[in-house]
Structure 1
């Protein structure tokens, strides 16, 4: 039996309204979840660096071995540099990590850690190559391959590509790159140059 047109319209409106409500509730739930997970991530990093930060704050000695151990973790490296910089102790930052490559690696890992992206630091990450782009000035992008272990959802892709840049000739290693991104492309599906070209063209500040 055919329903009157008005009834069908009402049903459509009710269904549409229900879908909008579900989408709204889900979006709010996701926003709270992302915020909570990000806060947990920040707290874990603070706890790891807390001893160093307390001694920097009180003017006590911090050993080069301690900063080396912390900076060796790309997930902490940028925060270690910025903390030492704030307290006027850049001299304690390890020379081997004061490079554009090591800075770019740290920014990429921080991006991957965000709950809406990989949601964790990769289990392995390796530098692949530097790609130079005319933009119209000469700028450099750093390309890395990374992977996670099972049971993480990305483990099935094995090695994937990520990009950080652009860096100009006068950029500092820990100047914030405005184009840090990964499309989670497997390394055998696209070249580093093509991935950089896509990021350079499509990734922009909001």
Structure 2
């Protein structure tokens, strides 16, 4: 008994040290990623904050890129220049696609933008028993070798919830991918329901 307490204390101390170290590393990685994301749109940001004229042609590459689409929309909205954003990309589906790609890029998730991503369907879920619906956009995505997730082929990702009055580029609170959920093991409806019950309803 006397020797057990010091061992228990060492185990607890080790867990605290490892947890603290991991938190520091993750914060550093997130900061680095945020800097990278800002640098991707910096030319657009600089032009919006000067008297220089901006054209739809200049905006288009930023809007088409999954990793800069959301930020581009937000920047243009802040500067009241949404007329420069391509109209065909002003949809919940296109916004959700960009949101998922950015979420997957975090080091604690996929760690990269998928090589391919495709929208599968919108799934509606009755959330209060009174026919009030929430909606989730379900995507499939894949990465290529040598990425560790390439072996799983198509993986499911879910973005939402959205409501009947949601607008494109409203921020979804429960973007998620279990990474282990593939088209071979889980249906889009099942995955949306899992995210609704385990992620969305807990926030």
- Fold agreement, TM-score > 0.5: yes
> Structure 2 length normalisation: TM-score?
0.92
> Structure 1 length normalisation: TM-score?
0.90
> How many residue pairs get matched?
198
Aligned to 2:6: 14
SS at match of 2:2: helix
- From 156, 165, 169, the counterpart of 2:164: 169
Q: Map Cα deviations across residues 64-106 of structure 1 (whole Å, 9 max, x no partner).
A: 1222111112121111111111111111111111101011111
Distance 1:153 1:13, change over 3 A: farther
* Distance in structure 1 (CA, Å) of the matches to 2:80 and 2:19: 42
SS at match of 1:58: coil
Aligned to 2:149: 154
Unpaired runs of 5+ residues, structure 2, are: none
Q: Shift of residue 150 of structure 1?
A: 2.4
Q: Which has the larger radius of gyration?
A: 1
Matched, 1:28 2:52: no
CA RMSD of aligned residues (A): 1.4
Question: What are the residue-to-residue correspondences of 1:43-192 with 2, within 5 Å?
Answer: 43-136=35-128, 137-184=132-179, 185-192=181-188
* Distance in structure 1 (CA, Å) of the matches to 2:90 and 2:41: 19
Q: Map Cα deviations across residues 96-120 of structure 1 (whole Å, 9 max, x no partner).
A: 1110101111111222122221122
SS at match of 1:34: helix
* Distance in structure 2 (CA, Å) of the matches to 1:191 and 1:112: 20
Q: Shift of residue 190 of structure 1?
A: 0.6
SS at match of 1:120: coil
Unpaired runs of 5+ residues, structure 1, are: 1-8
